[in-house]
Amino acid sequence: MPGTPRWAVAAAYATVASVLPAGIWRTLVGVGVELGWTEEHLRLERIPGYGTLYVITLTVLSIGCAALTLGLVYPWGEVFPSWLPAVGGRRVPTLLAVGAAFLGALAVGAIVVLSILRWDQVSGFAERPGSGWARLMVACYLPAALWPPLLAAVAVAYWRRRTSE
* Interval 25-71: pLDDT, tens: 999 999 988 888 888 888 888 988 999 999 999 999 999 999 999 99
| Whole-number Cα distances in Å, 3 to 22, 78, 145 | 32, 13, 28
DSSP-derived letter for residue 125 is -
Cα 151 from chain centre: 10
DSSP-derived letter for residue 123 is S
Is the predicted pLDDT of residue 19 greater than 90, yes or no? yes
Q: Is the dihedral of CA 37, 42, 45, 48 positive or negative?
A: positive
Is the predicted pLDDT of residue 99 greater than 90, yes or no? yes
Ranges of H-type helices in the chain:
6-30, 39-44, 50-67, 94-117, 119-122, 132-141, 147-163
pTM for this predicted structure: 0.90
Is the predicted pLDDT of residue 120 greater than 90, yes or no? no
Is the predicted pLDDT of residue 130 greater than 80, yes or no? no
Is the predicted pLDDT of residue 127 greater than 80, yes or no? no
Q: Dihedrals φ, ψ of 33, to 5°?
A: -75, 130
pLDDT for res 126? 66
